[in-house]
Structure 1
């Protein structure tokens, strides 16, 4: 087979890639002191990019962070305050304590560059509207200037995202220079497939396949034990959970993203608190209600450290999200064992 291996959903791809790099690695090396196992030139394809979460208890996926990071990208932001609230480790990537440069992929996609007045994202969408089947819909992210910064700790891992309209579907191909298959891969595929879905909506197209190419696929030795636990769990269970996968609403626009982030900021700064019934009454599609419910849960986790997260809030979440969160924060969120 010449093309990438095709998986129905991301989780199966994740397990296969994790197993390959962990147990069939080509090299051991330690760039910048980080001991790792590595494979070169790895690729896979996901048939349903909306099925972008891995329901593996050992991996302890954080869906709150994944939605926050995807929205941070979609809004074209590079501010440290928002993303570090959900992932404090990002503070080590900032050179000025205020912004992120290399890893703020959305700022390079959704904002005009240089003296331009149109963003690369809008230019690509305009191209695909006027030239169906174009091969030129590339969103470049990695910049050659990044290598000119001495001891740069935040070089873009993504080279480019490639959008291709074919027979009424919008496909995406991602080119990575490097990818940590235990840590970064889970977050990257989640965010990039959300960008793909958002782009498909703007173009009035269905979501096509998502293809992921990695130059250096690696796993750090520090994560080897977790990877082994994850692989053991995947091999021992009878079947993969089949939680509902929601589609992004067809009326989603940049204004929608901005409005969701306005509420996110109020919750993140603890200016407001939103009970579950108030979120339902805001008028958002249930898809975005789920996101706000998670942001309220995060507010409680951060700003009410002695309390359990509100049961009414958790009961309003989709079963898959609640399943993940109960395993991520078992001491703060009531157990949820219902299997689909």
Structure 2
């Protein structure tokens, strides 16, 4: 009846990997992808801001996590933005130009025939009726199964907001989730959207619940999973001391638009930033740190030189740790 509950995403993540490594229910191979699977998994994160894991055995790609949620917020489905951060996603595009299932942005934020969006309707509903049980966003569509060869079917089915006693909770239902890779980015994205919704509604941040019918790890990642599980067993994994940054309570679509405009310039390498120029954008520090992170990736992608130590020093401490451990060979001498 009550879900397994965790204080941090790192605790949630390692717990799921332990369960799959030690007590998986099935070995399956849908479309030839062999994996170990547990079913009907429900997990709760008490503090959705604690959406990152800090594991030396599996350095999270924080740049992709941020870029993916910005891609959603932009309402885009094109590969031009997201494949810059994750080229492998091109393999899931039927036409080489866009993604359908993976691209949740148009489903949430693209205007439909009446000029409104799923997101706007749900936000309006919550403002009118705080006790509603109808604040549901849907992702999976029946047409996605029309083509048996479709390489990109939505993993997420729905997301439901509950506004209770001034706290905005979010529950996401997924048909399947890759516990080693997808769980990391999905929880990051959905909790980010939850926090943005709370800001729009003037609500406090509630808990986040993640329900997955098929939680699995592909055999190709099994050795990586075992490395994390073994490290946890022998006490090599400790909880990071970073305090999760809080999104400004006045976070707005104008903030998102400013960040997206900078993202496009940095991706095209038509602009560059340093801490002073980012400050001059007039954004709150929370959004400044996101732009700084995108600038770090611009340097990683468009140059072979080490990332600027001045820039690294200005990153949010949690972001800096992740960048340093994800791309150690590109860090300036003496950084780590």
**Which residue does the alignment assign to 1:321?**
319
Shift of 1:234: 3.1
Query: 1:76 & 1:331 partners in 2: Cα distance?
Result: 34
Alignment of 1:40 onto 2:39: yes
TM-score with structure 1 setting the length:
0.96
User: Does the aligned pair in 2 maintain the 1:70–1:191 contact within 8 Å?
Assistant: yes
Compute the displacement of 1:281 (Å): 2.5
Deviation of 1:221 after TM superposition, in Å, equals 0.7
Following superposition, the deviation at residue 135 of structure 1 comes to 0.6
Deviation at 1:336, TM superposition (A): 4.9
The 3 A distance-change label for structure 1 pair 156 and 14 is same
Q: Deviation of residue 23 (structure 1)? A: 1.8
Q: Which residue of 2 aligns with 1:284?
A: 283
1:199 aligned to 2:197? yes
Name 2:116's counterpart in structure 1.
Answer: 118
Specify whether residues 313 and 39 from structure 1 end up closer, same or farther in structure 2 by C-alpha distance, changes over 3 A only. same
Q: Aligned residue for 1:77?
A: 76
By how many angstroms is 1:333 displaced?
Answer: 1.5
Contact 1:56–1:233 (CA<8 Å) still a contact in 2? Answer: no
Residue number among 146, 169, 172 corresponding to 1:171 in the alignment: 169
Displacement of 1:72: 0.8
Q: TM-score, normalised by structure 2?
A: 0.97
| Deviation readout 1:306-339 (Å, 9 max, x if unpaired) | x1010000011122111111110010024655xx
Instruction: Tell me by how many angstroms 1:239 deviates.
Output: 3.3
Deviation at 1:238, TM superposition (A): 6.6
2:142 matched to which residue of 1? 144
CA distance in 2, matches of 1:336, 1:39: 40
Query: How far, CA to CA, are the matches of 1:290 and 1:280 in structure 2?
Result: 10
Q: Do the aligned partners of 1:10 and 1:51 also contact (CA within 8 Å) in 2?
A: yes
Aligned partner of residue 123 in structure 1, secondary structure: helix
Of 188, 199, 220, which residue of structure 2 is paired with 1:190? 188
Give the distance between the partners of 2:335 and 2:11, measured in 1 at CA: 23
**Secondary structure, in 3 states, of the residue corresponding to 2:60?**
coil
Larger CA deviation: 257-266 vs 234-243: 234-243
Following TM superposition, by how much is the alpha carbon of 1:180 offset from its aligned partner in structure 2, in angstroms?
Answer: 0.2
1:298 corresponds to which residue?
297
Query: How much has 1:100 moved relative to structure 2?
Result: 1.1
In structure 2, the residue matched to 1:135 is 133
Residue in 2 that maps onto 1:241? 240
Give the alignment partner of residue 224 of structure 1, picking from 217, 222, 231.
Answer: 222
CA distance in structure 1 between the aligned counterparts of 2:230 and 2:245, rounded to whole angstroms? 28
**Does the Cα contact within 8 Å between 1:322 and 1:336 map onto a contact in 2?**
no
**Distance in 2 of aligned mates of 1:128 and 1:32:** 40
Is 1:211 paired with 2:209?
yes
Structure 1 outlier segments of 4+, above 4 Å? none
Q: Please, what is the CA RMSD of the aligned residues?
A: 1.2
Cα distance change on mapping 1:244 and 1:336 into 2, 3 Å: farther
Ranges in structure 1 where 5+ consecutive residues have no aligned partner: none
Q: Where does residue 330 of structure 2 map in the other structure?
A: 332
Query: Which range moved further: 233-242 or 245-254?
Result: 233-242
Q: Distance in 2 between matches of 1:104 and 1:170?
A: 24
